[in-house]
Amino acid sequence: MLTLLALVLAQARQAPCLTSNGNAACARTPWGNCAATMGRIFCGDPSWETLHVLREPPQVECVTTNGQGACGYDCRTANGQAACARTPWGRCVTTNGHVFCGDPSPEAVLAGATTPAECATANGRAACGYDCKTANGQAACAQTPWGRCVTTNGRVFCGDPPTWVLRHGAPPPVQCAVTNGRAACGYDCKTAVGKVACASSPWGRCVTSVGRITCSD
């Protein structure tokens, strides 16, 4: 039976390597990858949170263009740019000659965010994440699968559970409330006299009194 050190060394020996124009470089894990362009070598590996939740993550891919390169997932190139998502659940999109990528945050992945992200584009702009919305040439997305976005008065508002909530595991989805062109996303949202507010955690509460909203967590 291999010791932990022997296993690590064995995996390190399996990591992909590449040589180009007298240079050499290697990925750090067996699931990494390398690519060369114009004498330069680009290597990449699954992010640390990916390795934490997946014992056998998907193989990283690499792309190159005009001497530039990137390694990761769902890679794209456009107008001399190369970019990739950091995790298998991330996504990339190209629009108006630019590449946009987005991933669930590391805290979200550790909390169980294994739902693939999506991307939205509007007037040459883009965003990648969850529950994406566009309005008036803007594109925005929540950063976790439990986040939400809403549009009002030509603007996009998004909200997610805060990092400290994610440390407790997968939270309930947030909600969004809208009034008089204003919006807020969170929990136990309330509106009063043109105002809107939400608690930041599932355990928080909001109350209205004399036209005011008070939230606590």
pLDDT band at 204 (very low <50, low <70, confident <90, very high): very high
Question: What's the rounded mean pLDDT across residues 10-16?
Answer: 63
Enter the pTM of the model: 0.85
pLDDT value for 19: 87
pLDDT band at 9 (very low <50, low <70, confident <90, very high): very low
C-alpha pair distances (Å), 32 with each of 42, 134, 154, 162: 11, 35, 42, 31
Q: Please name which of 102, 98, 52 lies closest in space to residue 73, comparing C-alpha atoms.
A: 102
Find the range with the poorest average confidence among 13-22, 28-37, 59-68, 169-178.
Answer: 13-22
Other Cβ atoms within 10 Å of 212 Cβ, number: 11
Question: What's the rounded mean pLDDT across residues 38-66?
Answer: 95
More confident residue, 7 or 120: 120
pLDDT band at 97 (very low <50, low <70, confident <90, very high): very high
Render pLDDT for 122-180 as a digit per residue (tens, 0 to 9).
998 999 999 999 999 999 999 999 999 999 999 999 999 999 999 999 999 999 999 99
CA pair distance 16, 38, nearest whole angstrom? 19
With beta carbons less than 8 A apart as the criterion, state whether 126 and 132 touch.
no
pLDDT value for 4: 44
Does residue 37 carry a pLDDT above 60? yes
